[in-house]
Structure 1
């Protein structure tokens, strides 16, 4: 495994109405260690929630979401840059939409950029361009984006750091005996049709978007690892020590 795509969601990065700099700090420490072993691409949500920390605007209309995303994206990159520089790592911002994967030329240009950044040990930080992509604000999610990034930019694995620590055999919120499925080689149609449920005020997805991302990668002979973004011990163990303890691995 050479290139890893790490996706982190808004719920992990956000603490109520602001970005949790402690969690971002823990994430950056993890990324710095990963970059000693792999080429790393980060797909980061959080622009809209970061904007909510900077301006007092409610997330109750498309225009307001655009404003929050526009303000918040710069602030989010500032946070990442200020922390990663402590590890002597530069970061680069790439804003994409689904349209960037509809054109072979656009996809190739984006991949060339990512390849160049990775070659120079600069961390690419990718987010959806929520400030202008209206459809993506309403319907989009970074789980789908990260799966496309892993596929089109030659990632060997997608790792989703989430507010859930794996894919359970039942709803853990209602069934205390629910257990994490450690390995999932395929997904059934009914699993992909579960009702989407946002994980936080600023989230746009849920378990179903993660399962759809996993299914897309499984169908393209790639793998995905779903684990906690609050406690990174399972991510450390799996990616840096080669020991899978928790989380769910989607792999044929």
Structure 2
């Protein structure tokens, strides 16, 4: 069997960590299919994590059977994280963000502390490319990092609108943690920790962040703000 794409392996690992079940990975024509059983008791938090993870796939769904519920995801055998960004419009001159066609988001890296800085526009289609770049950079399982980045990035899209220029920074700290920062140009729109009801479809973003991160906060500047969090592992 051909080796599964790293994106598929990472997605399977995240689903396994969320559900505590073993994924079933099979080859289909031109893609890799991942299936995993859901726990009988599925909390709202775990449900949101599973949905967030599935959103990174090319296709996904939820199957109901007599034996229980299962979700599935399919990852095409292509450079999803690279080609997804092709359709993004270029940034405005002087915006400090860019989305070049045919390549991953621009990045700078400090070789001493392994900091990665990504400037891009907050479009939903940019999220797979962002997650892929961070996985490649970290070179290790990084479920909590990807979850926090996804929530912070999606929060910008949701509250400030598509196309907002953002800067994403991921770096190690001196005490062995990983720090994630997402900077946007609106210092007034401050995040609020909402505790959604069990059956709510949205409103869990920062509640998820609060549950996963060791600590988090907001740093305001005169023309921007940075929402940051720290998770285990440097």
Structures share fold, TM-score greater than 0.5: no
Between 1 and 2, higher relative CO (CA 8 Å, sep ≥ 6) is seen in 1
TM-score by length of 2: 0.29
In terms of fraction of residues, the more helix-rich structure is: 1
In terms of fraction of residues, the more strand-rich structure is: 2
TM-score by length of 1: 0.28
